[in-house]
Amino acid sequence: MQNRQKAINLLGLAERAGKLTTGAETVINNLNRRKIKAIIMASDIHDNTAEKVDRVARKNSIPIINSFSAAELSQAIGKKRKVLGLTDAGFTKALVKRINEGV
């Protein structure tokens, strides 16, 4: 539970640092421009959106993290969003580490 909260806090930090793009269309556009290092997608996202993002992520070999609900993501960044894109390798590495420690 503690690592889960740390991971959520990290997303808020990335948002404030300007290392996060939000919203499915924006993330897809940035994916195509090779600016995204990892995608955080809500576990309760609509199937069509998930499929669209997943297709582009696979094409670009970008990992997708779907360990969080839409409510958790929205709370983390202070906006209602279901798809986030991390643009910084350091934040990505730190987030993956927290998740692997048992989110």
Domain count along the chain: 1
Helices (H), the chain: 2-16, 24-32, 47-59, 70-77, 89-100
The pLDDT-based confidence of 99 (bands split at 50, 70, 90) is confident
CA distance 80 to 6: 20
| CATH code, domain carrying 40 | 3.30.1330.30
Expressed as residue numbers, the domain containing 25 is 2-100
DSSP 8-state secondary structure symbol assigned to residue 33 = T
The pLDDT-based confidence of 16 (bands split at 50, 70, 90) is very high
pLDDT tens column, 27-46: 999 999 999 999 999 999 99
pLDDT tens column, 69-89: 999 999 999 999 999 999 999
